[in-house]
Structure 1
C-alpha cells in the first residue's frame, strides 16, 4: 500500500520516524515569531539539537534494521517527553542521520531548558530492547535560545557548530551555542533536596487531562498528571519530576503523594467519571505497592471501580510476571488496567497475553499520521481489531484536530484525549468543565 500524497503546503516527513524535516522547523519558528504578540509573556524560541555518538557503529554491529528501530525509539522518547514537559507549542524534527531537533516557544529559563535536555538525555540513554539484544545510546546536545530578531538559519547554524563542540567533549553532554557557558543552575543534590521539601510542603500540583468518549464526545474522566513550580527553575513537568525523584531514590513516595492528592481531588466527581493514575517502574518494584495503593483508595473514599491504572511497557521490562500478578490483584478489586504508550517503542505482544488488561492506550505517534497516510490508518485499524478480539477498549492519546478525531471515531476507538478538546487543567478548571 502506498502512502497518501502530501498536500502542496504540507512538509514531507521522514519515512522512518514519521517526524517532519528541518524545513518544517523554519516555517514553524517563523510563525511563532510572527505571533509573538499573542504568545505567553516572556515566551522565547528555544532549540536543542541532539546527536547520537558513533551511531554508525550501531548499524555495523547490529544491522540496519536495529539501527532504524533505534531511531524510531529515540523519536518516540523525545516526542513523548516534550508532550509531557512543555506547555507551549513545540516540534520535533529529524535532522538527518542520528540527529534530532526539538524547538519550542516557551517561557523558560536557560537552567530549565538545560534540565529538560538532561532528562531527555537520560530517557534516550535507557536500555533499548532490539531483536538481537539490548542497545545503549550515548546522546550529545547543543542548546540555544534564539536571539531577538534572529533568522532561523542562523539559529540552526549556531546549533550545528555547538553540537560539533559537544561531540568532542569528554564526559559532558551539552554545549551552548556561541560558546555560552553552561548555566550553573542547581546541582543534582540541591534539586533532590528541593523535591523532598516540595513533597513535604504539598507543593506538587495535580492537573487533569480530560478524556472523552466516541462518538459522542462525552466527558468520561481524566488522567492525573503532576507539575512542580520550582522557585528558580520554573515549572517542571512529570517527566523531569520523576527523573529527579529517581536519582534521589524517592520515586515511590512521590508516586504515592500524587496518587493520594489525585484520589482526594476526584472523590466528589460525578459517578460516571473515571480517574487514571500512572504506574512507574519503581512502583512495580516496590513489594508493598499493591497494599499501599489499595489503602490509599480505601482511605480516599474514591470507588475502585472508577479507577484506572496506566502502566507502560518500560515499567514491565524488568519482571512482567510479577507485574501481571500485581495487576491481577488490582483487577480483582474492580480497578481497571491500561497498557499506556502502546506503539511508542518495540511492542511486546506477550504483554497482551499475560496481563489482565482492559484498555490499550495508543501513543500519540500512532495518531499523528492518520490523516495523511493510508498505512497509518491501516495500522490503527489492525490494532483496534486486535483489541476487540481481546475484549479491550482503545484510548487514543494526543488527538489535536478534528480530522484526527473523525478518523479514530470511524475506526471505532472508544475514548480519546488531547489538545483538540482540552489541555491539562487545574482541578478548579476541571470542576467547571464537569459542571458544563
Structure 2
C-alpha cells in the first residue's frame, strides 16, 4: 500500500497529540455481555464528534489525507478515555486496515498510549469492520498475524454485511466474530437465519473463534441466539452507547 512519506516519518508524539487530525473526537462506550456469567466482558469504544455528533458526522470528516491520523487518534482517545473512566474489562477498538501501512510501526503509539495511561495491553481487542473497503486482503492478514504476535485479541465486526465469507474468516482466524444485526433482527421468527448461524458457529468452533451477536433489541432475539450457543451479546436491550461513560453492571438491563 502506498502511503505518503510524511506519514511514514511522523513520530509517536504526533499520534498521541492528535494535532494532525484537524478535528476533535470523543468516545462513547457500549458494553458487551458475557451471557454465561451475566457480566460485562468488554466495552466497545465508538467514535463521536467534539460536540457528541454521531459516527456518521465523524466519518464525513475523514478522507485520504487524514485517514491515518484518524485511525491513530481513535486508538489513543479510546485508551485514554477508558483508562480515565477506570475500565477493568476488555476494550474493543475499531481500526481501519487501509490506514495501517506497517502493523509493527502503526501500533507504536497504541502501546505508548497504554503505558502512558496505565491500561493493560492484554485487555485490547482490535476490530475490523466487514464493511471496510479492503484494498489488499494479504495486508489485512498480515495485520491480524502481527497483532496476534503482540498478544492482542482480534475481531471481525459486522459479519454478514460486507466483504467476508467463511473462507475469508478461516484466513483471518479472529478471536471474535461479531454477527451483524441483519443476521440477528427477528431471528426468533426466521428458521433460515437460525440455520445460517448454526453453520457459521460450526466453522468458528473449528478454529477456536467465539461468536458475538450484535444489535440485540428484544428478549426473544436474546433467548434465540443464546439457545444457539452464542455466548457474547451486545445491543440496546442491555444498554445504549453513552458518551464518556462505562455503564456499570447495575445499569445493564435484561441479564436475568
Q: Place the TM-score, normalised by the shorter chain, in its bin.
A: 0.7 to 0.9
Match of 1:259 among 53, 64, 75: 75
Give me the whole-angstrom Cα distance separating, in 1, the residues matched to 2:31 and 2:91.
10
More relative contact order in 1 or in 2 (CA 8 Å, sep 6+)? Answer: 2
Please point out which of 128, 134, 157 is paired with 1:311. 128
List per-residue Cα deviations over 1:186-215 (Å, max 9, x = no partner). Answer: xxxxxxxxx95533xxxx221001110114
Deviates most, 302-311 or 286-295 = 286-295
Q: 1:213 aligns to what?
A: 34
Deviations along 1:73-109, one digit per CA (max 9) or x if unpaired, are xxxxxxxxxxxxxxxxxxxxxxxxxxxxxxxxxxxxx
Partner of 2:66: 250
The CA deviation at 1:274 is: 0.7
Secondary structure, in 3 states, of the residue corresponding to 1:262? helix
- Summarize the Cα distance change of 1:286–1:331 in structure 2 as closer, same or farther, 3 Å threshold: closer
Query: How far has the Cα of 1:398 moved from its partner?
Result: 0.3
Shift in CA distance, 294/316, structure 1 to aligned 2, threshold 3 Å: farther
| 1:286 CA displacement | 6.0
**2:49 and 2:57 in contact (8 A); partners too:** no
How much has 1:435 moved relative to structure 2? 6.9
1:155-208: CA deviations, max 9, x gaps? Answer: xxxxxxxxxxxxxxxxxxxxxxxxxxxxxxxxxxxxxxxx95533xxxx22100
Counterpart pick for 1:238 among 49, 55, 70: 55
Matched, 1:366 2:183: yes
For the pair 1:392 / 2:193, whether they are aligned, the reply is no
8 Å CA contact retained: 1:290, 1:329: no
Match of 2:159 among 327, 330, 342: 342
**Structure 2: segments with no counterpart, 5+ residues:** 1-19, 252-256
Kindly indicate whether the alpha-carbon contact (under 8 Å) linking 2:181 and 2:214 is maintained by their aligned counterparts in 1: yes
**Other-structure match for 1:283:** 99
In structure 2, the residue corresponding to 1:212 is in which secondary structure? strand
Report the counterpart of residue 15 of structure 2 in structure 1. Answer: none
Distance across 2 between alignment mates of 1:267 and 1:229: 19
| Residues 305, 352 of structure 1: alpha-carbon distance in 2 compared, 3 angstrom cutoff | same
- Secondary structure, in 3 states, of the residue corresponding to 2:77? helix
Other structure's SS at 1:371 match: helix
What is the alpha-carbon root mean square deviation over aligned residues? 2.4
SS class of match (2:142): helix
1:210-269 deviation digits (Å, cap 9, x = unpaired): 110114431112110111155xxxx5322331232116x212222222221211222263
User: What TM-score do the two structures reach when normalised by structure 1?
Assistant: 0.49
Rg larger in structure: 1
Secondary structure, aligned partner of 1:220: strand
Q: TM-score, normalised by structure 2?
A: 0.80
**Contact 2:159 2:178 survives alignment (8 Å):** yes
- Any residues of structure 2 matched to 1:18-97 within 5 Å, and which? none
SS at match of 1:293: helix
**In structure 2, do the counterparts of structure 1 residues 384 and 348 end up closer, same or farther at CA, with 3 Å as the change threshold?**
closer
> Is the 8 Å Cα contact of residues 281 and 314 (structure 1) preserved in structure 2?
no
Structure 1: state its 5+ residue gaps.
Answer: 1-194
Aligned length: 230
